[in-house]
Structure 1
Amino acid sequence: MQHDTTPTTRTTDVVSTHTVFGAPCWVSLTSRDLRATEEFYTAVLGWEWRKAKLGEHFRIALANGAPVAGIAAVAAMWHMAVAWTPYFAVRSADEAVGRAQERGGTAAVGPIALPPGRAALLADRDGATFGIWEGELVTDWETWRRASPAFIRLHTRDAFDAAIFYGEVLEWASASPGCCEVNYEGEEVVLRSGGDVVARIESGALGAAPDPTIRPHWQIHFAVGDVAACARAAEHHGGSVLRLDADEAVLRDPDGAQFTVTARRKR
């Protein structure tokens, strides 16, 4: 989880996970080479970059001036996998980790202090990796949520079972102010925060599949204006195209991190 350090004159109150919780609040990429990562995502998604509080290995990605995602070039240093990971807001990182472990999940990292908050990297009981964050949220979080530059979808073995796990860990549908709403719509579970769709959960992933794209995982979607152009740019700059449709493409960056670009009109 990375935080913007650029001075601002805004006078609005800082939003924290103590008032908004359970919703996805950020997405972050662990990478091996910061410069190469910046060059690739600038070419594919048009991002600009800003320094982050956590140090020289971290950057904030900006789209049209708004924070979109965090980059942490610590995969080699911290012996972590190169991957995109969604982070969910929680009121207490320690309590959320405890609830996850009690329900068959595992804690890979943390909770650790990353001022101005605490973070942990977890896996659910089917192996899908996700993060949790307690504390001050990223700059312009409300703008980030409502503009939906990033959208997440869990591909898992059983959407209903996964919804129970995440609901209990992240306090979804708990009737507390700010919590997320959960609805079952056909074969999907739909998560809403403040009335806006913020995540979907769908069944069908296979735990023992040799192909990681069909094993349980959280998929990060970035809204773009031209899906085909993003796919061409990814290939031209050392990435690969795993699937290409008219309004969506599954891409892989040169380090191996998988992500999706989705036409803005599709949700």
Structure 2
Amino acid sequence: MTEATRRTPGAPCWVSLMVHGLDATQEFYGALFGWEFVPGPQQLGPYVRALLDGREVAGIGQLPPDRHLPVAWTTYLATDDADETAETIRCCGGTVAVGPLDAGDAGRMVICSDPTGAVFGVWQAGAHVGTAEAGAPGTPVWNELLTYETSAVGKFYRTVFGYEVEPIVSADLDYLTLHLEGRPVASLHGVGTALPRDRGAHWMTYFEVADTDAAARLVTELGGQVLRPPREGTAGRLALVTDPEGAVFTIVRSAGS
């Protein structure tokens, strides 16, 4: 493991999903994205890693039957020291829900939430650096926080992870891009009262697809739902969808791809 392959602290490095039906969920994403699966660390119960062309792209775990947690994709942000980051999160008004704990020799993890309640993970890489394939259809290509407004929560993420923050100056758009070493890595989008009441503030994972319209049709055929049909956006052609258990994600054919 060379230092060069490690993610810059603060960069999104992994996405994972905790569900009730692990087998059915693997069938859905396998058919939608062409993923294959191998067992991963079992510290939090049954867990598999999704592979695309043999390279790890995401994780899916099984919720304990007695846990009635929302089924949602979780964005993990890289750190060099999970314990120190967890402490900083607490000091800045966030909450640490799980960890820090070791996931075998893969790394050290924390599950936490920002001051508005949006859940995210923190990952200190050991043997497992994170997503090994990016940009191809079936890979996570962007992570965005949907929140009520960006100014206060932007300060939280900047303090914890050291982002440079670039606002889009617009009267009708509350949007910040988070940069590390001059490169955009994630975004914060303040949507005010358009935030879904049942979900509150949350991180959204964007997955690349070859054809947004065909992928949206396939989501429905496989038992998922299309919440917002395919449309053109600044990032490309995108649609908001859910898997059969209700986990929300965005599919996108990136502009220029």
Residue 208 to residue 200, structure 1, CA distance change in 2 (3 Å): closer
**SS at the partner of 1:245?**
strand
1:231 aligns with 2:216: yes
Matched with 2:28 is 40
The structure with more strand, counted as a fraction of residues: 2
User: Which of 191, 211, 217 does residue 204 from structure 1 map onto?
Assistant: 191
Contact 1:112 1:120 in 2 (8 A): yes
Q: In structure 1, how many angstroms separate the alpha carbons of the residues matched to 2:160 and 2:250?
A: 26
Residue 163 to residue 145, structure 1, CA distance change in 2 (3 Å): farther
AA aligned to 1:254 is: P
- Identity score, percent: 34
- CA deviation map 1:183-212 (0-9, x unaligned): 223342112345443211111244985343
Q: Which runs of 5+ in 2 are unaligned?
A: 232-236
Q: Which runs of 5+ in 1 are unaligned?
A: 1-11, 174-180
Which deviates more, 44-53 or 201-210?
Answer: 201-210
The residue correspondences of 1:47-196 to structure 2 (distance < 5 A) are 47-54=35-42, 57-76=46-65, 80-116=69-105, 117-136=107-126, 138=128, 141=131, 143-144=132-133, 149-150=139-140, 151-170=142-161, 172-173=162-163, 181-186=164-169, 187-196=174-183
**SS at the partner of 1:22?**
coil
- CA deviation map 1:48-92 (0-9, x unaligned): 222324378211112344321111123536554321000011122
RMSD of equivalent CA atoms:
2.8
User: Which of 229, 240, 244 does residue 254 from structure 1 map onto?
Assistant: 244
User: Which of 26, 31, 39 does residue 19 from structure 2 map onto?
Assistant: 31
AA aligned to 1:201 is: L
Deviation at 1:26, TM superposition (A): 0.5
